[in-house]
């Protein structure tokens, strides 16, 4: 089975990258809509659509063989930017408690900081685990539901209860995911160190 040419990973203009760019472009749109009391419902719906489609660009990339180095960075950046922008805006308009938003943002900043350092300075990239994806899914259901109830929209009681249940499950899993991620980092750094110094593990030979 022939391997995909390495140069294909350097492509910039691909359908998945375009989808990621569109999602980033939608961020200021839903932020502005959320800040206006007359358009908050539309802003919340657009925010939900933006974060709910975080799997689309990656799926398209794999199915159409358009995986690229830029896409590997652009996809998660689009996800984190959309979530952070939506959360901060919802906190500003008092739709989500500040403490609830800070818990999510603090974890994201930590992971992005560590991940960025490892990628740029150590050449190590840590793949997303399913527990992280599941946690994000719960949070992206819970947070909009809490905001929906705060806006006093239809079925607000159901939205509030369901939102806090999903948020509680999601935030626990969000932080629990740090444990296997820490193990991944440790193993990746150890493998990187062994590769850069293959003779170091064995020690110097005797005379």
Annotated domain spans of the chain? 8-93, 97-193
41: burial class by Cβ within 10 Å (0-12, 13-18, 19+)?
middle
Task: Tell me the three state secondary structure of residue 58.
Answer: helix
Q: Three-state SS for 80?
A: helix
Q: What is the pLDDT of residue 8?
A: 66
More confident residue, 81 or 6: 81
Query: Region 31-42: what's the mean pLDDT?
Result: 95
pLDDT at residue 19 greater than cutoff 90 = no
pLDDT at residue 140 is higher than 50: yes
Residue 194 has pLDDT above 50, yes or no: yes
**The whole model's pTM is what?**
0.78
Spatial contact of 163 and 145, defined as CB atoms under 8 Å apart = yes
164 Cβ contact list (under 8 Å, min separation 6)? 142, 146
3-state SS class at 55? coil
Question: Quick one: average pLDDT of 55-72?
Answer: 70
For the record, the structure tokens of 34 come out as 């959320």
């Amino acid at each position: 089975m022939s391997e995909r040419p390495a140069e294909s990973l350097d492509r910039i203009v691909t359908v998945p990258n375009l989808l990621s760019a569109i999602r980033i472009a939608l961020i200021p749109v839903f932020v502005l809509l959320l800040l206006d009391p007359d358009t908050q419902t539309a802003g919340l719906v657009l925010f939900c659509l933006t974060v709910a489609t975080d799997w689309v660009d990656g799926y398209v990339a794999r199915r159409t063989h358009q995986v690229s180095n830029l896409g590997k960075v652009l996809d998660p950046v689009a996800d984190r930017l959309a979530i952070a922008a939506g959360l901060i805006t919802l906190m500003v308009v008092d739709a989500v408690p500040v403490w609830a938003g800070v818990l999510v943002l603090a974890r994201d900043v930590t992971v992005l900081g560590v991940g960025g350092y490892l990628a740029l300075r150590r050449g190590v990239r840590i793949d997303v685990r399913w527990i992280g994806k599941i946690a994000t899914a719960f949070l992206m259901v819970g947070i909009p539901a809490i905001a929906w109830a705060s806006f006093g929209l239809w079925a607000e009681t159901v939205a509030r209860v369901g939102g806090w249940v999903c948020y509680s499950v999601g935030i626990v899993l969000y932080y629990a995911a740090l444990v296997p991620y820490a193990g991944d980092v440790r193993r990746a750094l150890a493998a990187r160190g062994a590769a850069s110094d293959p003779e170091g593990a064995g020690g110097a030979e005797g005379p």
